[in-house]
Amino acid sequence: MKDESDLELARRLALQAGILLNQHRINNPPPDDLAKRKEYGEQADKLAHNFLMEEFIKARPNDLVLSEEGIDPVARLDALRCWIIDPLDGTFYFANNRNDFAVHIALWEKDSKNNGNIAVAAVGMPVLEKVYDTSSKKIATKSNNIPRLLVSGSRPPLEMPKLTKLFDETFGGVEIKSVGSVGAKVVQILDDKADLYVHTTGFYEWDIAAPLGVAIAGGLMVCDITGKNLVLNQKNIRVENVIICRPELLEVVLQAVA
């Protein structure tokens, strides 16, 4: 679109890619056909990726794009701008007819002063038909009396026993919930359905770039397990760990995972 700002572009692409994914879900294979579900999820990944790449060529032809489904443009390491995207974050959950998948669109800028150098970001939740972005006002509310911890169902944090013990001692307990996409986890916190997310078994920049930006805009704390800001658009695109939480919980979480 003519004169579309970076934020407007991120929001539009997150929304439109989500619409494509919702349309693709009409052809959802039966639950017991695991091979077809895997293929179905891969098709959805490619569908969203191809759409987004075509849109970036039209809207931002001079920008580089790092996508989970694409080839890593090595020139991004010397670029001033690079979009970091995950066309379908949570493919497994999408393919298994769950709602906790998302579309991640983030813009890394060398001159940005933001955490991770993320200038703008959008997380699309296709099933909700909503987009959460970095124009949000600070909306993080006080955490629940018994904090609600989000984890990856397949890869919970290695420090789970210590986390559980310290939260028991400090708050009288912790509620643990498994949610799929990182973007879906951040949305759970912003929608006051959870309080924190801890991940210490590694993932990639496209998993965290957009959720990081949206979380910060919502008043949440985002850091690694040493309390430092994340560093993105690196040669090694693996991100080893992250904490996303309401501000009043950060000290306890750092104590548990340090």
Asked if residue 164 has pLDDT above 70, the reply is: yes
Asked if residue 63 has pLDDT above 80, the reply is: yes
**pLDDT of amino acid 2:** 59
Calpha distance 54→242 (Å, rounded): 31
The angle subtended at Cα 142 by Cα 203 and Cα 239, nearest 5°, is 10
Residue in 179, 53, 47, 40 with CA at minimum distance from that of residue 105: 53
Percentage of the chain beyond pLDDT 90 is 83
Query: Quick one: DSSP state of residue 137?
Result: -
Task: Give the pLDDT confidence of 40-59 residue by residue, as tens digits.
Answer: 899 999 999 999 999 999 99
Query: Does 154 or 162 have the greater pLDDT score?
Result: 162
Calpha distance 9→1 (Å, rounded): 8
Task: Give the pLDDT confidence of 210-249 residue by residue, as tens digits.
Answer: 999 999 999 999 999 999 999 999 999 999 999 999 999 9
**pLDDT of amino acid 187:** 96
Mean pLDDT of 118-137: 94
Percentage of the chain beyond pLDDT 70 is 99
Q: Which domains does the chain have, with CATH numbers?
A: 6-133 (3.30.540.10), 148-257 (3.40.190.80)
Write the DSSP assignment of 59-128 as a string of letters. H-TTSEEEETTS---GGGGG-SEEEEEEEEE-HHHHHTT-S--EEEEEEEETT--SGGGEEEEEEEEGGG
In which band, very low, low, confident or very high, does the pLDDT at 1 lie, cut at 50, 70 and 90?
low
Task: Give the pLDDT confidence of 168-213 residue by residue, as tens digits.
Answer: 999 999 999 999 999 999 999 999 999 999 999 999 999 999 999 9
Asked if residue 34 has pLDDT above 90, the reply is: no
Count the neighbouring beta carbons within 10 Å of the beta carbon of residue 53: 17
The angle subtended at Cα 158 by Cα 157 and Cα 163, nearest 5°, is 70
